[in-house]
Each structure stands twice: as C-alpha cells, then as structure tokens.
Amino acid sequence: MASLDKSFVTDSVWKPDLFKGKVVFVTGGAGTICRVQTEAMVLLGADAVILGRNVAKTEKAAAEIASLRPGAKVLGLGNVDVREIDSLAQAVATTVSKLGRIDFVIAGAAGNFLSDFNHLSSNAFKSVISIDLLGSFNTVKACFSELRKNKGAVIFVSATLHYYGVPFQSHVGAAKAGVDALSNALAVELGPLGIRCNCIAPGGIEGTEGMSRLMPETGHGASKVPLARWGTTRDISEATVYLFSPAASYVTGSIQVVDGGFWHIGNFMGDLYPLVILNQNSVENLKL
C-alpha cells in the first residue's frame, strides 16, 4: 500500500499546519484510499479518528498514522458499523470527548465485489446499498451537530461506475449514484448552515483492493487512460486537501472526478464485451 510520509509537507503545494486545531472523522479509515486521505490531513496539522469493523486493524492503522506527525492525535475505533446509527453516534461521542470537536467528515466506508445480475442476490444488493448509501447518510447524521457548530465540510467517496453501464457492478453503481444524489441534496440543504458537501469519485487507483479485484485484464492497461497512467492514493489525497481547504470555501455540491479522464472512454472492458456477459448467462450458469 502506498502511504504518505513526512515529505508530503515539504514537497506538496499545501502549507504546513493548514488544518491545525481541526479534527477529521473518517469511516473506512483503515482502508487504502481513506487511510491515505487521513494521512494527508494529519500531516497538515489535523487530528483524526478512523472507524472500521476490524478492531486490531483499525487501531494499528491509527497508531501508524499518528506517528507521521509529532503530537498528532489519531483515534482508531473498531467494531463500528456504519449501517447502525447508534454505533456511529457512540463513535462521535467518543471523538468529541477525546479530541474536542469534529470539523471534517470523510464518508468512505464501502463494500464491493464482482457479480452479474443473474447471480446477484437481493440480500447482496441490499448489503452494498446499506454500507455505501445508508452508511453515508448515517455518518453525516451522527456528525451533524458538530458540523453545524463548526461550519464543517463533508466529502463522500463515490465512483464513476454509474456514469455509464458497467457490467457486474449494478449494486455499486446504484449505491454510488445514490451517494452523489445525497451529497447534492445536502449541499443545498446544509449550505445555509455553513456546511459544505462534495464528492470525490476515484478511478482506477494503483495498490488498492478494488483495483486488483475489480479491474478486468483487458490487455490495454493504463494506455487507454487519457493521462496515460493509473491513479495513486496521493492523487485522491490532494483532491481531499483541496476540498477541505479554504481554497474551496465556495465549492459545494460538486463531484470531483479523479481518474485521469478515464470515464470518458467508457468501454473499459474492451474485447471482453459481450462474450463475458453471454458466458455468465449461459444455460450452464443459469441461476433460477
């Protein structure tokens, strides 16, 4: 996993201590993308809390992130289920008790797997909707009083899968489309209260579980990306810092796509389509 280090403070365009005195609350913070988003915020002065299901993994990641900056306070709260509002409310109470406030929220907890519609169960579809969409709603709901008090900002981690039809991703595409709609509605509704809401939609990001599991081997690799490379977790971190920084104080209700222009290409399956669809729905694979 490509993490950040202290050189981020000196070789980036951002000022040291940009987020000094601020606290960021991150669901999915022990995962690859959201962890590096958190690292960037901590390196630039913020304290943080990361939430996850796995206690040991979440606490270990928090300790490693805290080591990036002397004096940094990073809580790792495991056994938190974003599908349960009470679980998040308790995490918020712990955060405020130990860190004093919440200024920024990253709603990044997500679930995904490959499945064609024929083999996708109703429960599996519901599970992804519950983690990605309901979890995003619950996260902001639980943090609302702190966001209102501190005129905070929210970033939802979305995707580009619903910009066009992507086989084997109907569950995630539907969930992320809902996340975008939620962000847009909250940007309008919470804007008068001083709260900004935006989405970041990553493309293919090297070193992530999603990249290794979900991107098919089409043979063309990064050569089809307009910027001729896959993304990095640092690319997502830079967008995160921008959207939380004063530079974006007039930016809300936006979807920041960070994918090198790849979504404009559309048919990333290449020569695999439509044969792979027909094979999955053959008589031998039919699921009644």
Return d(Cα 36, Cα 38) in angstroms, integer: 5
Section 247-268 average pLDDT: 91
CA 49: distance to chain centroid?
15
Structure tokens at 83: 């599908």
- What pLDDT score was predicted for residue 243? 98
pLDDT of 14 above 80: yes
277 contacts 116 by C-beta, under 8 angstroms: yes
User: Could you tell me which of 213, 15, 9, 19 has the C-alpha nearest to residue 101?
Assistant: 19
Query: Left (φ > 0), alpha (ψ -120 to 50) or beta: where does 55 sit?
Result: alpha
Question: Identity (one letter) of the amino acid at 180?
Answer: D
**Segment 62-85 mean pLDDT:** 98
Q: Per-residue pLDDT tens for 240-256?
A: 999 999 999 999 999 99
pLDDT confidence bin for 219, thresholds 50/70/90: very low
Q: Which residues pair with 169 in a beta bridge?
A: none
Give the per-residue pLDDT at 218.
46
**Cα distance between residue 163 and residue 263, in whole Å:** 8
Looking at domain 11-285, its CATH architecture is 3-Layer(aba) Sandwich (3.40)
Q: What is the pLDDT of residues 122-175, one digit of tens each?
A: 999 999 999 999 999 999 999 999 999 999 999 999 999 999 888 999 999 999
Q: What is the pLDDT of residue 276?
A: 78
In the prediction, which pLDDT does 92 show?
Answer: 98
Residue given tokens 């709901």 in the structure block: 141
Considering the chain, what is the average pLDDT of its residues?
92
State the pLDDT at residue 242. Answer: 98
E strand segments, the chain: 23-27, 47-51, 74-77, 104-107, 153-157, 196-202, 255-258
Lowest-confidence segment of 74-83, 176-185, 199-208 by average pLDDT: 199-208
**Where does the pLDDT of residue 274 fall: very low under 50, low under 70, confident under 90, or very high at 90 and above?**
confident
Give pLDDT, residue 35: 97
User: What residues have CB less than 8 Å from 6, skipping those under 6 apart?
Assistant: 43, 68, 69
Q: Which residues are catalytic?
A: 158, 176
Question: Kindly report the CA angle at 38 between 37 and 42, in degrees rounded to 5?
Answer: 125
Percent of the chain, pLDDT > 90?
A: 79
* Residue 212 binned pLDDT confidence (cut-offs 50, 70, 90): low
Q: Is the pLDDT of residue 227 over 60?
A: yes
Mean pLDDT of 259-271: 80
> Is omega for the bond preceding 274 within 30 degrees of 0, making it cis?
yes
Q: Is the dihedral of CA 113, 118, 178, 203 positive or negative?
A: positive
CB-count exposure of residue 105 (10 Å: 0-12, 13-18, 19+): buried
- DSSP SS3 for 27: strand
Q: How confident is the model at residue 208 (pLDDT cuts 50, 70, 90)?
A: confident
